[in-house]
Amino acid sequence: MDERVKKALIDIVGEEGYTDNLIDMVSYSYDASEHRHRPSCALWVESAEQVSEILKLANNELIPVIPRGAGTGLSGMAVPIRSGIVLDLSHMNRIISISIEDRMAVVQAGVIYSELEKALKPYGFFFPPDPASETVCTLGGNVITNAGGLRGAKYGTTRDYVLGLQVVLPDGRIMRTGSKTMKSVSGYELTRLFVGSEGTLGIVTEMNLKINPRPPKTSTSLATFDDLRDAGKAVSEIMHSGIIPSALEILGKHTILAINQNTDLNLPEVEVMLLVETDGYTKEETDFQMSIVLDVFKKNNCREIKRATSKEEATDLWKARKTAYAVLARIMTHFVLEDITVPMSKIPEMLEGVEAIAQRNNIRIATYGHAGDGNLHPQILYDGYDPEQVKNKEAATAELFKLSIDLGGTLTGEHGIGLSKAPFMKLEHDPVALDMMSSIKKLFDPNNILNPGKMALKD
C-alpha cells in the first residue's frame, strides 16, 4: 500500500484499525471457497462514518474495497481478487435494539447470527433464516449474500426479513433505505436491491430485521431409502401434500458416511436419507403434520423411519447436518460446494442427473441439501494436486450448472455468484438482464471500486 494512502487510512481508523501484516494478508486472502488472493491491507472499522471516510478516499484513489464479515462465504465473494482494502466489519457487532412490539431488531452488520438468536430467545422470538454457519456468520454477510438456510421451504431466506438498511455508497454518502414498518411501498425498493448484491453496490453497516415468534414445538424424523429416485419423489410429493415442513433435508451416502466418522450418531449407512422437521404451537399440530409426511415416505418405498425421541437427539441430528460440508473434508481435502436450485417438481430429475454427472466425469460427488426448497448441495470431492481430477472437477461443475438451468433452475440458491459462478452467468441470464445489472452497478459505483471482479459485471 502506497505510504501516503496508508497514512490517510490510519488517520481514519487509527493504528490499531489498520494492518498490512503478512499474517492478516494471508488470512484475508480466503473465504470458505477454493479461491484466494491477497489484499494490500485490511481495516477494522467501528462506524458508518469511518466507512464513509474510507470509501471517499478509495473512490478518489481508485482502490478496490472488499467488505467482509466472518469469511464463511462459499463462492469467493470476500476474496480480494484485485487486491485493495479488505473492510472487516466484524467489530461493528452491536445489537442496537430489539422491539418485540414492532417485531423488529436493529443490528450492526458484524453481529453474529447466533448472537441475535440468543438475544431473541427470552422473548420467544427468532430470526428465521437459518444458515448452517449460524455460530460464526455475520448478519451483514447474510444480508449481502441473501443467505438461506435449513428453514427456507417454510420461512424463506434473508431477503424476506430485511425491512431497511443503512448503506454507505462508494462516494461516501450514507443512505437509509426502507422503513421500520411491516410494509411499505414508498418509492423504489432500494433495500432489496442491496440484499444479495455481494458488496458490489454499497457497504451495508446497519439493518432493520423482521423477527418472528418461534413456534415452540417441533417433531423430527428421519427416513431411509434404497433408491435415490424414491427419495426424490417423496420430497416432491410432500411439498404438494398440503403441509410445509419447517425443514426437509436430503443426505446422500458419502455424506452419511462422513457424518458417522465425526459423530456417534450411527446413522444407517444407506443410499439416501431424508431428515424432516415440522413445527407448530402444540404437539398435536406438529405430530399431525409429521404423520402426513411419514405416509408419503411409506408410499414411496422408504426402508426405515426413525423419530427423534428427545430434544437432544433432534438437536444432534440437525447439528450433524449443519456440519456436513466441513465433515466431508475428512474424505477428500479438496472440494467445491455448489448450491444449484430447481423447481420443486424437478428434484427427482436433478438427483439422478447429479449421479450421472459424477459417473460420466469419474469423480466423487457427495450430495445433500435443502430438498424442501429445491436447493441441492452437490459437493465435488477431488484431489487439488492431481491435474486429472482438477480437470474432471471443472467439467463436472459446468455440467451441474447446465443441468440446473436445463431443468428451469438457477446457478445458486443461497451462496451467491462471487467468483465461482461468474463464468456461468450467461447460462442463466439473457444479455439484456446482464446489461441491466452492469448498468445498475455503474449507477452506484461508477469507478468500480466495490468488490470488483465479482458477479460477471462489466468493468
- Interface with another protein: number of residues (CB under 8 A): 37
Which residue of 3, 15, 22, 101 would you call a contact of another protein, by CB under 8 A?
22
b (16+ CB within 10 A) / e for 62-76: ebbbbbbbbbbbbbb
328 binds another protein (CB under 8 A): yes
Largest Cα span, the chain: 70
Cell of 414: 443461497
66 binds another protein (CB under 8 A): no
Residues 409-428 that bind another protein (CB under 8 A): none
Q: How far apart are CA 108 and CA 77, in angstroms?
A: 20
- Is 31 or 277 the residue whose CB approaches another protein more closely? 31
The one segment of 23-31, 219-227, 236-244, 304-312 that binds another protein by CB under 8 A? 23-31
Q: How far apart are CA 171 and CA 444, in angstroms?
A: 9
439 binds another protein (CB under 8 A): no
CB 372 within 8 A of CB 154: yes
- Is 129 or 280 the residue whose CB approaches another protein more closely? 129
Residues 252-311 that bind another protein (CB under 8 A): 261-262
23 binds another protein (CB under 8 A): yes
Which residue of 11, 14, 26, 311 would you call a contact of another protein, by CB under 8 A?
26
- Is 262 or 447 the residue whose CB approaches another protein more closely? 262
Q: How far is the CB of 76 from another protein (least distance, A)?
A: 11
The one segment of 20-28, 179-187, 342-350, 435-443 that binds another protein by CB under 8 A? 20-28
CB 368 within 8 A of CB 430: no
Nearest Cα neighbor of 130 from 75, 196, 212 is 212
b (16+ CB within 10 A) / e for 150-170: bbbbbbebbbebbbbbbbbbb
Q: In sequence order, what DSSP letters do the residues of 354-389 get, joined into one string? A: HHHHHHHTT-EEEEEEEGGGTEEEEEEEE-TT-HHH
SS3 sequence, 63-101? CCEEEECCCCCCCCCCCCCCCCEEEECCCCCCEEEEECC
- Is 153 or 365 the residue whose CB approaches another protein more closely? 365
- Is 91 or 103 the residue whose CB approaches another protein more closely? 91
Give residue for cell 435494539.
97
Q: How far apart are CA 396 and CA 380, in angstroms?
A: 8
User: Strand (E) positions, 226-284?
Assistant: 247-252, 272-280
Q: How far is the CB of 360 from another protein (least distance, A)?
A: 26
Instruction: Report phi then psi at 168, rounded to 5.
Output: -100, 125
- Is 91 or 210 the residue whose CB approaches another protein more closely? 91
Residues 87-106 that bind another protein (CB under 8 A): 88, 90-91, 93
Q: How far is the CB of 27 from another protein (least distance, A)?
A: 4
24 binds another protein (CB under 8 A): yes
185 binds another protein (CB under 8 A): no
CB 206 within 8 A of CB 47: no
Q: How far is the CB of 203 from another protein (least distance, A)?
A: 18
The one segment of 17-25, 100-108, 187-195, 430-438 that binds another protein by CB under 8 A? 17-25
- Is 262 or 438 the residue whose CB approaches another protein more closely? 262
| Residue 225: its H or E element | strand 217-225
CB 87 within 8 A of CB 203: yes
Which residue of 333, 359, 362, 439 would you call a contact of another protein, by CB under 8 A?
333
Q: How far is the CB of 431 from another protein (least distance, A)?
A: 35
- Is 326 or 434 the residue whose CB approaches another protein more closely? 326
Residues 108-147 that bind another protein (CB under 8 A): 112, 114, 133, 135-136
Q: How far is the CB of 243 from another protein (least distance, A)?
A: 31
User: Strand (E) positions, 261-374?
Assistant: 272-280, 304-307, 334-337, 364-370
Q: How far is the CB of 317 from another protein (least distance, A)?
A: 15
Using CB under 8 A, list all residues that contact another protein.
21-24, 26-33, 44, 70-72, 88, 90-91, 93, 112, 114, 133, 135-136, 261-262, 323, 325-330, 333-335
